[in-house]
Amino acid sequence: MLREPWGFMHPQKPEFWYDEGAVFVNEYGHLMLKTRRNPLISEGQMLSPTGAGLVCCNQGFHFGYYSFVVDLPVGKNLWPAIWMYDMNTWPPEIDLLEAYTNRWSKYRILPWQPFKAETCLHWTDEKGKKRMMRKKSGWIRKRTDVVVELAWTAARIIVWHNYRKVMEISDREVMQHFQKPMRLILNNGVRTKRKANPNEETCFVIKNFTYLKM
């Protein structure tokens, strides 16, 4: 589906909403997820200024090998992402890729730096406390043909960006929270508490997706 199961906009992230018209497949069979100026209006009030493309899979994905080849979007304060979360609750969550542009539409400040990108895990521990593990990626240096991979088993999670390992976790205390099937979500978006350029359209391109069940 082209929205989250609970609605068209995250109540704490009004910077963008899930715009069905911002999702399409091009002539090459690539999934295109746009951001565009398309205000969400309700009862005469603008709830969100920017429409963004999102695809949320109703089917639960479980242990296996996942591979994506993507072109990251170009634009101001963007937040493209590939992520997964539990079919019935949040957390747990696996963020395979979250990338961020700045107000100058760049993924980095200096030309020799890697892109601002990361992978994260979210879960709730036995005491009910929300926990997170974040690893910055140092392996994305160009926008096109970015390769994102995940190997997920009952005992281990490994994430690679451009064939280089970004995260590996096998701690039993953590892995016990990552045993159930999850929704797979791909989306373009706008960074929290920042504004997109209202005059530009951007496109997060999913060029290939492979899933091999383990």
Q: What is the pTM of this model?
A: 0.96
Residue 104, pLDDT score: 94
Are the C-beta atoms of residues 94 and 152 closer than 8 Å to each other? Answer: yes
- For residue 208, give its domain range: 17-213
Residue 9 falls inside a structural domain: no
Residue 50 falls inside a structural domain: yes
Successive 10-residue mean pLDDT values, the chain, 214 residues: 81 92 97 96 91 94 98 97 95 98 94 95 94 96 97 98 98 96 97 87 97 93
Q: Based on the structure, what is the number of domains in the chain?
A: 1
Residue 122, pLDDT score: 98
Residue 5, pLDDT score: 80
Are the C-beta atoms of residues 48 and 16 closer than 8 Å to each other? Answer: yes
Residue 10 falls inside a structural domain: no
Residue 1 falls inside a structural domain: no
Residue 118, pLDDT score: 98
CATH classification of the domain holding 187: 2.60.120.200
Residue 120, pLDDT score: 98
Residue 10, pLDDT score: 86
Residue 6 falls inside a structural domain: no
